[in-house]
Amino acid sequence: MTRLLRDLPLPARRYGIIHHRTAIRHARRSSIIAVSRILLIMGGGIAAYKCLDLIRRLRERNHTVRVVMTKAAAEFITPLSVGALTNERVFTELFDLDDEREIGHIRLSREADVLVVAPATADLLAKMAHGLANDLASTVLLATDKPVLVAPAMNPKMWLHPATQRNMATLVADGVTVIGPGVGEMAERGEAGPGRLVEVPELVAAIEARLEASGSASIPAAGPLAGRHVLVTSGPTHEPIDPVRYIANRSSGKQGHAIAAAAASLGARVTLVSGPVAIPDPPGVFIARVETAADMLAAVTAALPADIAIFAAAVADWRVDDAATQKIKKTRGDGAPKLALVENTDILRHVATLKSGRPSLVIGFAAETHDIVAHAKAKLASKGADWIVANDVSHDSGIGGEGARGVPGSGAGRGVMGGDRNAVHLVSGTGIESWPEGSKAEIAQRLMVAAAAALDTRAGGR
Ligand SMILES: Cc1cc2nc3c(=O)[nH]c(=O)nc-3n(C[C@H](O)[C@H](O)[C@H](O)COP(=O)(O)O)c2cc1C
Protein backbone atom coordinates (compact mmCIF):
# COMPACT_ATOMS: atom_id res chain seq x y z
CA MET A 1 0.00 0.00 0.00
CA THR A 2 2.90 2.36 0.79
CA ARG A 3 4.17 1.67 -2.68
CA LEU A 4 0.83 2.61 -4.15
CA LEU A 5 0.82 5.96 -2.45
CA ARG A 6 4.36 6.76 -3.41
CA ASP A 7 3.84 5.70 -7.02
CA LEU A 8 0.80 7.79 -7.61
CA PRO A 9 0.82 11.46 -8.55
CA LEU A 10 -0.49 13.77 -5.84
CA PRO A 11 -4.05 14.11 -7.15
CA ALA A 12 -4.39 10.37 -7.48
CA ARG A 13 -3.16 9.88 -3.93
CA ARG A 14 -5.79 12.30 -2.71
CA TYR A 15 -8.66 11.00 -4.75
CA GLY A 16 -7.95 7.31 -4.88
CA ILE A 17 -6.13 5.31 -2.35
CA ILE A 18 -6.86 7.43 0.68
CA HIS A 19 -10.60 7.33 0.05
CA HIS A 20 -10.34 3.65 -0.54
CA ARG A 21 -8.53 2.89 2.72
CA THR A 22 -10.95 5.03 4.70
CA ALA A 23 -13.83 3.20 3.09
CA ILE A 24 -12.52 -0.17 4.10
CA ARG A 25 -11.81 1.00 7.63
CA HIS A 26 -15.40 2.25 7.87
CA ALA A 27 -16.82 -0.99 6.58
CA ARG A 28 -14.74 -3.11 8.96
CA ARG A 29 -15.69 -0.98 11.94
CA SER A 30 -19.35 -1.26 11.16
CA SER A 31 -21.29 -4.32 12.23
CA ILE A 32 -24.25 -3.16 10.19
CA ILE A 33 -24.59 -4.43 6.65
CA ALA A 34 -26.82 -2.08 4.75
CA VAL A 35 -29.57 -3.30 2.44
CA SER A 36 -29.75 -0.86 -0.41
CA ARG A 37 -30.68 -0.18 -3.96
CA ILE A 38 -27.54 0.16 -6.00
CA LEU A 39 -27.51 1.53 -9.54
CA LEU A 40 -24.38 0.21 -11.21
CA ILE A 41 -23.26 2.16 -14.27
CA MET A 42 -20.87 0.09 -16.31
CA GLY A 43 -18.43 1.74 -18.67
CA GLY A 44 -16.69 0.14 -21.63
CA GLY A 45 -13.42 -1.03 -20.18
CA ILE A 46 -11.62 -4.31 -20.16
CA ALA A 47 -12.39 -4.66 -16.43
CA ALA A 48 -16.14 -4.79 -17.10
CA TYR A 49 -16.06 -8.55 -16.61
CA LYS A 50 -15.26 -7.99 -12.92
CA CYS A 51 -18.68 -6.41 -12.53
CA LEU A 52 -20.30 -9.82 -12.89
CA ASP A 53 -18.59 -10.88 -9.68
CA LEU A 54 -19.37 -7.49 -8.11
CA ILE A 55 -23.09 -7.97 -8.80
CA ARG A 56 -23.03 -11.46 -7.27
CA ARG A 57 -21.29 -10.24 -4.14
CA LEU A 58 -23.66 -7.30 -3.72
CA ARG A 59 -26.71 -9.52 -4.14
CA GLU A 60 -25.34 -12.05 -1.68
CA ARG A 61 -25.38 -9.19 0.81
CA ASN A 62 -29.05 -8.57 0.01
CA HIS A 63 -28.55 -5.42 -2.01
CA THR A 64 -30.74 -4.84 -5.04
CA VAL A 65 -28.65 -4.09 -8.11
CA ARG A 66 -29.91 -2.37 -11.25
CA VAL A 67 -27.49 -1.88 -14.11
CA VAL A 68 -27.09 0.74 -16.81
CA MET A 69 -24.53 -0.28 -19.45
CA THR A 70 -22.91 2.05 -21.94
CA LYS A 71 -22.77 0.92 -25.56
CA ALA A 72 -19.07 0.29 -25.12
CA ALA A 73 -19.67 -1.81 -21.99
CA ALA A 74 -21.95 -4.06 -24.02
CA GLU A 75 -18.96 -4.75 -26.33
CA PHE A 76 -17.14 -6.33 -23.40
CA ILE A 77 -19.89 -8.31 -21.68
CA THR A 78 -23.47 -8.97 -22.70
CA PRO A 79 -26.52 -7.37 -21.08
CA LEU A 80 -27.90 -10.92 -21.01
CA SER A 81 -25.26 -12.10 -18.51
CA VAL A 82 -25.75 -8.97 -16.43
CA GLY A 83 -29.55 -9.36 -16.43
CA ALA A 84 -29.28 -13.00 -15.40
CA LEU A 85 -27.21 -12.04 -12.37
CA THR A 86 -29.25 -9.03 -11.30
CA ASN A 87 -32.58 -10.67 -12.06
CA GLU A 88 -33.55 -7.26 -13.38
CA ARG A 89 -33.87 -5.64 -16.73
CA VAL A 90 -30.61 -4.07 -17.92
CA PHE A 91 -30.86 -0.49 -19.21
CA THR A 92 -28.83 0.60 -22.20
CA GLU A 93 -30.82 3.07 -24.30
CA LEU A 94 -31.70 6.68 -23.56
CA PHE A 95 -34.26 6.94 -26.30
CA ASP A 96 -36.33 3.93 -25.48
CA LEU A 97 -39.91 5.18 -25.38
CA ASP A 98 -41.14 2.29 -23.28
CA ASP A 99 -38.46 2.97 -20.71
CA GLU A 100 -39.25 6.66 -20.61
CA ARG A 101 -42.89 5.87 -19.89
CA GLU A 102 -42.29 3.03 -17.46
CA ILE A 103 -39.14 4.08 -15.71
CA GLY A 104 -37.13 6.81 -17.44
CA HIS A 105 -33.71 8.20 -16.68
CA ILE A 106 -34.92 10.42 -13.83
CA ARG A 107 -36.55 7.57 -11.97
CA LEU A 108 -33.57 5.30 -12.58
CA SER A 109 -31.37 7.80 -10.81
CA ARG A 110 -33.84 8.60 -8.03
CA GLU A 111 -34.81 5.03 -7.20
CA ALA A 112 -31.31 4.22 -6.03
CA ASP A 113 -29.55 4.80 -2.75
CA VAL A 114 -26.18 5.11 -4.44
CA LEU A 115 -24.82 5.23 -8.00
CA VAL A 116 -21.65 3.26 -8.64
CA VAL A 117 -19.68 3.79 -11.83
CA ALA A 118 -17.50 0.75 -12.50
CA PRO A 119 -15.40 0.46 -14.48
CA ALA A 120 -15.31 4.24 -14.72
CA THR A 121 -13.71 4.85 -18.10
CA ALA A 122 -11.72 7.96 -18.92
CA ASP A 123 -14.56 8.85 -21.25
CA LEU A 124 -17.29 8.56 -18.59
CA LEU A 125 -15.23 10.51 -16.06
CA ALA A 126 -14.74 13.28 -18.62
CA LYS A 127 -18.45 13.39 -19.38
CA MET A 128 -19.29 13.56 -15.69
CA ALA A 129 -16.78 16.32 -15.04
CA HIS A 130 -18.17 18.40 -17.91
CA GLY A 131 -21.85 17.69 -17.35
CA LEU A 132 -22.38 15.94 -20.67
CA ALA A 133 -25.54 13.90 -21.06
CA ASN A 134 -25.53 12.25 -24.46
CA ASP A 135 -26.33 8.67 -23.51
CA LEU A 136 -28.31 6.92 -20.79
CA ALA A 137 -25.35 6.47 -18.41
CA SER A 138 -24.22 10.10 -18.49
CA THR A 139 -27.80 11.42 -18.41
CA VAL A 140 -28.63 9.36 -15.32
CA LEU A 141 -25.44 10.61 -13.67
CA LEU A 142 -26.30 14.21 -14.40
CA ALA A 143 -29.91 13.78 -13.23
CA THR A 144 -29.14 12.17 -9.92
CA ASP A 145 -29.38 13.64 -6.45
CA LYS A 146 -27.86 10.54 -4.84
CA PRO A 147 -24.28 9.83 -3.75
CA VAL A 148 -22.01 8.78 -6.61
CA LEU A 149 -18.99 6.53 -6.26
CA VAL A 150 -16.60 6.00 -9.18
CA ALA A 151 -14.07 3.19 -9.59
CA PRO A 152 -11.73 4.25 -12.41
CA ALA A 153 -10.04 1.63 -14.56
CA MET A 154 -7.86 2.43 -17.54
CA ASN A 155 -4.40 2.33 -18.99
CA PRO A 156 -1.89 4.13 -16.69
CA LYS A 157 -1.11 6.70 -19.39
CA MET A 158 -4.80 7.55 -19.66
CA TRP A 159 -5.12 7.78 -15.88
CA LEU A 160 -2.02 9.96 -15.48
CA HIS A 161 -2.92 12.22 -18.39
CA PRO A 162 -3.42 15.81 -17.13
CA ALA A 163 -6.90 15.86 -18.67
CA THR A 164 -8.02 12.84 -16.64
CA GLN A 165 -6.42 14.26 -13.51
CA ARG A 166 -8.19 17.60 -14.07
CA ASN A 167 -11.47 15.75 -14.47
CA MET A 168 -10.86 13.84 -11.26
CA ALA A 169 -10.18 17.06 -9.37
CA THR A 170 -13.49 18.46 -10.65
CA LEU A 171 -15.38 15.33 -9.66
CA VAL A 172 -13.94 15.27 -6.17
CA ALA A 173 -14.82 18.95 -5.77
CA ASP A 174 -18.35 18.02 -6.87
CA GLY A 175 -18.60 15.51 -4.01
CA VAL A 176 -18.02 12.31 -5.96
CA THR A 177 -16.32 9.53 -4.00
CA VAL A 178 -13.43 7.81 -5.74
CA ILE A 179 -12.22 4.28 -5.07
CA GLY A 180 -8.91 3.30 -6.62
CA PRO A 181 -7.49 2.78 -9.08
CA GLY A 182 -5.12 0.07 -7.92
CA VAL A 183 -1.61 -0.32 -9.23
CA GLY A 184 -0.30 -3.33 -11.09
CA GLU A 185 -0.08 -5.15 -14.40
CA MET A 186 -2.49 -4.07 -17.11
CA ALA A 187 -4.29 -6.33 -19.55
CA GLU A 188 -1.98 -4.96 -22.27
CA ARG A 189 1.39 -6.71 -22.27
CA GLY A 190 4.23 -4.78 -20.70
CA GLU A 191 1.98 -2.08 -19.25
CA ALA A 192 1.95 -1.51 -15.51
CA GLY A 193 1.12 1.32 -13.13
CA PRO A 194 -1.97 2.93 -11.65
CA GLY A 195 -5.18 2.12 -13.51
CA ARG A 196 -6.47 -1.25 -12.34
CA LEU A 197 -10.05 -1.54 -11.13
CA VAL A 198 -9.88 -2.20 -7.39
CA GLU A 199 -10.64 -5.74 -6.36
CA VAL A 200 -14.28 -6.65 -5.88
CA PRO A 201 -14.24 -7.09 -2.05
CA GLU A 202 -12.70 -3.63 -1.74
CA LEU A 203 -15.32 -2.20 -4.03
CA VAL A 204 -18.14 -3.81 -2.02
CA ALA A 205 -16.65 -2.40 1.21
CA ALA A 206 -16.35 1.07 -0.34
CA ILE A 207 -19.96 1.01 -1.57
CA GLU A 208 -21.25 0.03 1.85
CA ALA A 209 -19.07 2.61 3.55
CA ARG A 210 -20.45 5.28 1.20
CA LEU A 211 -23.99 4.22 1.96
CA GLU A 212 -23.32 4.28 5.65
CA ALA A 213 -21.74 7.71 5.43
CA SER A 214 -24.75 9.09 3.55
CA GLY A 215 -27.14 7.59 6.07
CA SER A 216 -29.28 6.26 3.24
CA ALA A 217 -28.95 2.70 4.36
CA SER A 218 -29.86 2.05 7.92
CA ILE A 219 -31.62 -1.25 7.57
CA PRO A 220 -29.78 -4.03 9.32
CA ALA A 221 -29.42 -7.18 7.23
CA ALA A 222 -29.22 -9.13 10.43
CA GLY A 223 -32.63 -10.22 11.67
CA PRO A 224 -35.05 -13.10 11.36
CA LEU A 225 -35.62 -12.41 7.65
CA ALA A 226 -31.98 -11.91 6.62
CA GLY A 227 -31.33 -13.71 3.37
CA ARG A 228 -35.05 -13.94 2.55
CA HIS A 229 -36.86 -12.29 -0.33
CA VAL A 230 -40.23 -10.82 0.60
CA LEU A 231 -42.65 -9.67 -2.10
CA VAL A 232 -45.39 -7.24 -1.09
CA THR A 233 -48.14 -5.66 -3.17
CA SER A 234 -49.70 -2.42 -2.05
CA GLY A 235 -52.11 0.33 -3.02
CA PRO A 236 -54.98 0.39 -5.50
CA THR A 237 -54.95 -0.30 -9.20
CA HIS A 238 -56.30 2.05 -11.82
CA GLU A 239 -58.26 0.46 -14.65
CA PRO A 240 -58.63 2.82 -17.60
CA ILE A 241 -61.97 3.68 -19.13
CA ASP A 242 -60.37 5.99 -21.64
CA PRO A 243 -57.08 7.95 -21.59
CA VAL A 244 -58.34 10.35 -18.91
CA ARG A 245 -60.77 8.32 -16.79
CA TYR A 246 -60.26 5.21 -14.72
CA ILE A 247 -61.90 2.93 -12.16
CA ALA A 248 -60.10 2.90 -8.82
CA ASN A 249 -60.69 2.27 -5.13
CA ARG A 250 -59.89 3.99 -1.84
CA SER A 251 -56.78 2.02 -0.91
CA SER A 252 -53.99 4.36 0.26
CA GLY A 253 -51.19 1.78 0.28
CA LYS A 254 -50.39 2.59 3.92
CA GLN A 255 -50.77 -0.98 5.20
CA GLY A 256 -48.84 -2.59 2.33
CA HIS A 257 -46.05 -0.03 2.52
CA ALA A 258 -45.82 -0.53 6.29
CA ILE A 259 -45.48 -4.29 5.73
CA ALA A 260 -42.67 -3.73 3.21
CA ALA A 261 -40.88 -1.47 5.70
CA ALA A 262 -41.34 -4.01 8.51
CA ALA A 263 -39.97 -6.84 6.35
CA ALA A 264 -36.92 -4.72 5.47
CA SER A 265 -36.39 -3.85 9.12
CA LEU A 266 -36.24 -7.58 9.88
CA GLY A 267 -33.45 -7.98 7.34
CA ALA A 268 -35.35 -9.15 4.25
CA ARG A 269 -34.65 -8.12 0.70
CA VAL A 270 -38.00 -6.61 -0.21
CA THR A 271 -39.71 -6.03 -3.53
CA LEU A 272 -42.72 -3.76 -3.21
CA VAL A 273 -45.10 -3.77 -6.18
CA SER A 274 -47.15 -0.65 -5.70
CA GLY A 275 -50.16 0.75 -7.45
CA PRO A 276 -50.54 4.56 -7.70
CA VAL A 277 -50.24 6.00 -4.18
CA ALA A 278 -49.49 9.38 -2.66
CA ILE A 279 -47.38 8.25 0.31
CA PRO A 280 -43.58 8.16 0.69
CA ASP A 281 -41.52 5.17 -0.41
CA PRO A 282 -40.51 2.91 2.49
CA PRO A 283 -36.74 2.92 2.99
CA GLY A 284 -34.52 0.06 1.87
CA VAL A 285 -36.96 -1.67 -0.44
CA PHE A 286 -37.02 -2.03 -4.20
CA ILE A 287 -40.21 -0.57 -5.66
CA ALA A 288 -41.89 -1.59 -8.89
CA ARG A 289 -44.57 1.00 -9.69
CA VAL A 290 -47.58 -0.18 -11.62
CA GLU A 291 -50.96 1.13 -12.63
CA THR A 292 -53.33 -1.64 -13.68
CA ALA A 293 -54.02 -5.12 -12.33
CA ALA A 294 -52.40 -6.56 -15.45
CA ASP A 295 -49.24 -4.48 -14.78
CA MET A 296 -49.26 -5.69 -11.18
CA LEU A 297 -49.50 -9.33 -12.22
CA ALA A 298 -46.57 -8.85 -14.61
CA ALA A 299 -44.44 -7.13 -11.93
CA VAL A 300 -45.26 -9.81 -9.36
CA THR A 301 -44.35 -12.57 -11.81
CA ALA A 302 -41.08 -10.81 -12.66
CA ALA A 303 -40.22 -10.46 -8.96
CA LEU A 304 -40.55 -14.18 -8.19
CA PRO A 305 -39.03 -16.28 -6.70
CA ALA A 306 -39.78 -15.07 -3.19
CA ASP A 307 -39.84 -16.75 0.20
CA ILE A 308 -42.89 -14.84 1.37
CA ALA A 309 -45.51 -13.09 -0.78
CA ILE A 310 -48.00 -10.73 0.82
CA PHE A 311 -50.84 -9.40 -1.27
CA ALA A 312 -52.04 -6.26 0.49
CA ALA A 313 -52.94 -4.34 -2.68
CA ALA A 314 -56.59 -3.64 -3.43
CA VAL A 315 -56.51 -5.01 -6.96
CA ALA A 316 -59.49 -4.17 -9.12
CA ASP A 317 -61.61 -7.28 -9.70
CA TRP A 318 -62.72 -5.99 -13.06
CA ARG A 319 -61.41 -3.85 -15.87
CA VAL A 320 -63.20 -2.16 -18.70
CA ASP A 321 -63.28 -4.40 -21.71
CA ASP A 322 -61.70 -2.64 -24.62
CA ALA A 323 -60.91 0.71 -22.92
CA ALA A 324 -61.30 3.60 -25.36
CA THR A 325 -58.07 4.92 -26.84
CA GLN A 326 -59.55 8.42 -27.18
CA LYS A 327 -61.53 10.38 -24.61
CA ILE A 328 -65.20 9.36 -24.68
CA LYS A 329 -67.16 12.50 -25.55
CA LYS A 330 -70.33 13.42 -23.73
CA THR A 331 -72.92 13.99 -26.41
CA ARG A 332 -76.26 15.56 -25.48
CA GLY A 333 -79.09 13.07 -25.81
CA ASP A 334 -76.85 10.00 -26.13
CA GLY A 335 -77.07 9.11 -22.44
CA ALA A 336 -74.30 7.45 -20.44
CA PRO A 337 -71.91 5.10 -22.22
CA LYS A 338 -72.31 1.39 -21.47
CA LEU A 339 -69.15 -0.04 -19.96
CA ALA A 340 -68.62 -3.77 -20.31
CA LEU A 341 -66.42 -5.16 -17.53
CA VAL A 342 -64.22 -8.24 -17.68
CA GLU A 343 -62.58 -10.04 -14.80
CA ASN A 344 -58.92 -9.43 -13.98
CA THR A 345 -56.65 -12.34 -13.12
CA ASP A 346 -56.76 -13.01 -9.40
CA ILE A 347 -53.10 -12.38 -8.51
CA LEU A 348 -53.30 -13.96 -5.04
CA ARG A 349 -54.85 -17.16 -6.38
CA HIS A 350 -52.49 -17.22 -9.33
CA VAL A 351 -49.37 -17.13 -7.11
CA ALA A 352 -50.83 -19.33 -4.34
CA THR A 353 -51.59 -22.11 -6.81
CA LEU A 354 -48.35 -21.99 -8.80
CA LYS A 355 -47.14 -25.52 -9.54
CA SER A 356 -43.52 -24.51 -9.30
CA GLY A 357 -41.93 -21.46 -7.71
CA ARG A 358 -44.74 -20.92 -5.19
CA PRO A 359 -43.44 -18.83 -2.28
CA SER A 360 -43.23 -20.84 0.97
CA LEU A 361 -45.71 -18.51 2.64
CA VAL A 362 -48.50 -16.80 0.70
CA ILE A 363 -50.55 -14.25 2.60
CA GLY A 364 -53.63 -12.51 1.24
CA PHE A 365 -55.63 -9.60 2.57
CA ALA A 366 -59.40 -9.53 2.74
CA ALA A 367 -60.97 -6.11 2.87
CA GLU A 368 -64.54 -6.72 3.98
CA THR A 369 -67.41 -4.55 5.10
CA HIS A 370 -69.50 -7.32 6.74
CA ASP A 371 -69.20 -10.95 7.92
CA ILE A 372 -65.46 -10.35 8.03
CA VAL A 373 -64.22 -13.67 9.42
CA ALA A 374 -66.66 -15.82 7.43
CA HIS A 375 -65.57 -14.17 4.19
CA ALA A 376 -61.91 -14.49 5.14
CA LYS A 377 -62.31 -18.22 5.82
CA ALA A 378 -64.00 -18.70 2.47
CA LYS A 379 -61.22 -16.72 0.80
CA LEU A 380 -58.53 -18.84 2.45
CA ALA A 381 -60.11 -21.99 1.07
CA SER A 382 -60.85 -20.67 -2.41
CA LYS A 383 -57.53 -18.92 -3.07
CA GLY A 384 -55.05 -21.48 -1.84
CA ALA A 385 -53.36 -18.92 0.45
CA ASP A 386 -51.68 -19.94 3.71
CA TRP A 387 -53.01 -16.99 5.69
CA ILE A 388 -55.65 -14.36 5.15
CA VAL A 389 -55.42 -11.10 7.03
CA ALA A 390 -58.99 -9.87 7.31
CA ASN A 391 -59.82 -6.27 8.05
CA ASP A 392 -63.02 -4.31 8.36
CA VAL A 393 -63.01 -1.51 5.84
CA SER A 394 -66.56 -0.34 6.48
CA HIS A 395 -66.93 3.38 7.20
CA ASP A 396 -68.44 2.66 10.61
CA SER A 397 -65.87 0.10 11.76
CA GLY A 398 -64.87 2.47 14.57
CA ILE A 399 -61.21 1.68 13.86
CA GLY A 400 -59.07 4.72 14.37
CA GLY A 401 -61.56 6.35 16.76
CA GLU A 402 -64.27 8.89 16.06
CA GLY A 403 -62.01 11.05 13.96
CA ALA A 404 -61.42 8.24 11.54
CA ARG A 405 -65.07 7.61 10.79
CA GLY A 406 -65.45 8.95 7.35
CA VAL A 407 -68.22 10.90 5.84
CA PRO A 408 -68.55 9.23 2.47
CA GLY A 409 -67.66 11.63 -0.24
CA SER A 410 -66.01 14.11 2.12
CA GLY A 411 -62.54 12.78 1.47
CA ALA A 412 -61.89 12.97 5.22
CA GLY A 413 -60.75 10.00 7.38
CA ARG A 414 -62.36 6.82 6.17
CA GLY A 415 -61.62 4.27 8.89
CA VAL A 416 -59.18 1.59 7.75
CA MET A 417 -58.94 2.63 4.10
CA GLY A 418 -56.78 5.73 4.06
CA GLY A 419 -56.45 5.80 7.85
CA ASP A 420 -53.37 5.08 9.96
CA ARG A 421 -54.83 2.34 12.16
CA ASN A 422 -56.13 -1.15 11.66
CA ALA A 423 -57.48 -4.16 13.55
CA VAL A 424 -57.19 -7.51 11.86
CA HIS A 425 -58.07 -11.17 12.18
CA LEU A 426 -55.39 -13.60 11.07
CA VAL A 427 -57.11 -16.59 9.50
CA SER A 428 -55.05 -19.70 8.80
CA GLY A 429 -55.60 -23.44 8.46
CA THR A 430 -55.08 -23.81 12.19
CA GLY A 431 -57.49 -21.16 13.44
CA ILE A 432 -58.24 -17.48 13.84
CA GLU A 433 -56.32 -14.92 15.85
CA SER A 434 -57.93 -11.55 16.45
CA TRP A 435 -55.33 -8.85 16.99
CA PRO A 436 -56.15 -5.68 18.89
CA GLU A 437 -56.35 -2.37 17.09
CA GLY A 438 -52.98 -0.75 16.46
CA SER A 439 -51.17 1.50 14.03
CA LYS A 440 -50.60 0.03 10.60
CA ALA A 441 -46.89 -0.06 11.41
CA GLU A 442 -47.59 -2.14 14.54
CA ILE A 443 -49.82 -4.56 12.64
CA ALA A 444 -47.17 -4.84 9.93
CA GLN A 445 -44.41 -5.57 12.43
CA ARG A 446 -46.46 -8.24 14.19
CA LEU A 447 -47.38 -9.85 10.88
CA MET A 448 -43.78 -9.99 9.67
CA VAL A 449 -42.49 -11.42 12.96
CA ALA A 450 -45.18 -14.13 12.75
CA ALA A 451 -44.33 -14.76 9.07
CA ALA A 452 -40.61 -15.09 9.84
CA ALA A 453 -41.36 -17.63 12.59
CA ALA A 454 -43.73 -19.58 10.33
CA LEU A 455 -41.18 -19.63 7.53
CA ASP A 456 -38.53 -21.07 9.80
CA THR A 457 -40.93 -23.75 11.03
CA ARG A 458 -42.02 -24.67 7.51
CA ALA A 459 -38.51 -24.79 6.14
CA GLY A 460 -37.26 -26.56 9.26
CA GLY A 461 -34.84 -23.67 9.70
CA ARG A 462 -32.40 -22.92 6.89
C1 LIG B 1 -10.09 -3.47 -26.01
C2 LIG B 1 -10.42 -2.13 -25.42
C3 LIG B 1 -10.21 -1.95 -24.07
C4 LIG B 1 -10.49 -0.70 -23.49
N5 LIG B 1 -10.30 -0.54 -22.15
C6 LIG B 1 -10.55 0.66 -21.58
C7 LIG B 1 -10.35 0.85 -20.19
O8 LIG B 1 -9.97 -0.07 -19.46
N9 LIG B 1 -10.59 2.07 -19.67
C10 LIG B 1 -11.02 3.12 -20.44
O11 LIG B 1 -11.20 4.21 -19.92
N12 LIG B 1 -11.26 2.95 -21.76
C13 LIG B 1 -11.03 1.76 -22.35
N14 LIG B 1 -11.24 1.59 -23.69
C15 LIG B 1 -11.75 2.71 -24.47
C16 LIG B 1 -13.25 2.88 -24.23
O17 LIG B 1 -13.93 1.67 -24.57
C18 LIG B 1 -13.78 4.03 -25.08
O19 LIG B 1 -13.21 5.24 -24.61
C20 LIG B 1 -15.28 4.13 -25.05
O21 LIG B 1 -15.68 5.23 -25.81
C22 LIG B 1 -15.75 4.28 -23.65
O23 LIG B 1 -17.12 4.46 -23.66
P24 LIG B 1 -17.99 4.61 -22.34
O25 LIG B 1 -17.23 5.50 -21.43
O26 LIG B 1 -19.24 5.21 -22.78
O27 LIG B 1 -18.21 3.25 -21.77
C28 LIG B 1 -10.97 0.36 -24.28
C29 LIG B 1 -11.20 0.14 -25.63
C30 LIG B 1 -10.92 -1.08 -26.19
C31 LIG B 1 -11.18 -1.28 -27.66
Lowest mean pLDDT among 16-30, 33-47, 284-298: 16-30
> Over 90: is that where the pLDDT of 358 sits?
yes
Give residue 108's pLDDT band: very low, low, confident or very high (50, 70, 90): confident
Query: How open is the CA angle 235-238-239, to the nearest 5 degrees?
Result: 145
pLDDT at 410: 34
Q: What is the pLDDT of residues 421-434, one digit of tens each?
A: 788 999 998 888 98
Of the candidates 167, 249, 344, 422, the residue annotated as catalytic is 249
What's the mean pLDDT in 235-251? 94
Identify the helix (H) or strand (E) that includes residue 264.
helix 254-265
Mean pLDDT of the chain: 82
Q: What is the pLDDT of residues 182-236, one digit of tens each?
A: 877 777 777 777 889 988 988 988 898 888 777 654 434 567 888 899 999 999 9
> Which residue's alpha carbon is at the smallest distance from atom 19 of ligand 1?
123
Q: According to the per-residue pLDDT averaged within each range, which of 18-22, 224-228, 418-422, 444-448 is highest? A: 444-448
pLDDT at 405: 38
pLDDT at 402: 42
What's the mean pLDDT in 35-39? 85
In the chain the domains, ranked by start, together with CATH numbers, are 2-214 (3.40.50.1950), 229-459 (3.40.50.10300)
d(C-alpha 417, C-alpha 389), whole Å? 14
pLDDT at 224: 87
> Which residue's alpha carbon is at the smallest distance from atom 5 of ligand 1?
45
pLDDT at 408: 36
> Over 50: is that where the pLDDT of 451 sits?
yes
Contact 82, 90 (CB under 8 A): yes
Cα 348 to middle of ligand 1, angstroms: 47
pLDDT at 98: 62
pLDDT at 35: 62
Cα 48 to middle of ligand 1, angstroms: 10
What's the mean pLDDT in 12-18? 35
Q: According to the per-residue pLDDT averaged within each range, which of 136-140, 411-415, 420-424 is highest? A: 136-140
Cα 117 to middle of ligand 1, angstroms: 14
Q: What is the pLDDT of residues 42-67, one digit of tens each?
A: 999 999 999 999 999 999 888 899 99
> Over 90: is that where the pLDDT of 461 sits?
no
> Over 50: is that where the pLDDT of 331 sits?
yes
Q: How much of the chain is helix, strand and coil, in % rounded to 5?
A: 40, 20, 40
Higher-confidence position of 13 and 355: 355
User: Which residues are CB-neighbours of 17 under 8 A, at least 6 positions away?
Assistant: 1, 4, 5, 8, 180
Ligand 1 contacts (CB < 6 A) are: 43-47, 70, 72-73, 119, 121-124, 153-154, 158
Per DSSP (E only), the strands in 31-126 are: 37-42, 64-69, 90-91, 114-120
